[in-house]
Amino acid sequence: MKVYMVRHGESEGNAYRIHSGWSSVELTDKGKEQARASGRLLEDIDFDAVYVSDLVRTQQTAALLLPRLRNRFVLTEEMREYNNGPNVVCKPFSQMEEEYGEKYLQWRRELDYSEIGGETPEHFFARVSSFMRRLEADAAEGKRNVAVVTHAGTLRNVLQYVTGLPYKQGALMGTSNCSVNVLEYKDGGWRILAWNYTPELPRDAARAE
């Protein structure tokens, strides 16, 4: 089974350097164009299932990416971005640094905002791992091609699940907005066929916020 995992298009959070987390930030006009462009890479693939993170920016991306399959989208909480908590979400990076100083910089370095209401890295990995096992069950049922629309931080957890690469080191294999990342599950194991491919690779930051 091949799995085509696509990061959402540029969001308002990406454009304005605001922590998006589980908030309802939307795509920018640029993000919408990115989704349409990447959709052309997928238009000839016959998908057996389409899973979409239930956050607004991923739903908007999926609708532009695979419009013909819109009535078949399966929304999932498991593939949401990191939950950085109510004290962080929708705040600019600069404001957080001003309010919390070195403590905030530590949270960013450790990718752990659980001290102020976010989820732990372990919980994040556990829910993404649960979804990956769901995909493995899909393969066992005979599905051949599956699309997943998700987030940068979530894709780092996918890398950790597939390769054992620590989450922080996943930044070395970052994902640009609307990049297409292709995995294959075969004979009980995962392998990466393509990573961070876009029609015209944008110079967007891949860091999950």
pLDDT in tens, 30-59: 999 999 999 999 999 999 999 999 999 999
Task: Determine the topology of domain 2-197 in CATH.
Answer: Rossmann fold (3.40.50)
Half-sphere exposure of 23 (CA within 13 A, CB side): 20
The pLDDT score that the predictor gives to residue 200 is 67
* 154 C-beta neighbours (distance < 10 Å), count: 24
* DSSP calls for 154-186: HHHHHHHHHH---TGGGGGG---TT-EEEEEEE
Q: Give the H/E segment covering residue 92.
A: none
Positions in the chain whose pLDDT score sits under 70:
169-172, 200-209
The pLDDT score that the predictor gives to residue 205 is 40
The pLDDT score that the predictor gives to residue 171 is 63
Instruction: Please state the pTM of the whole predicted model.
Output: 0.91
> Would you kindly state where each structural domain of the chain is located, as residue ranges?
2-197
Q: Give the H/E segment covering residue 30.
A: helix 29-42
For residue 95, give both structure tokens.
């404001």
CA dihedral 50, 55, 57, 61 (to 10 degrees): 10
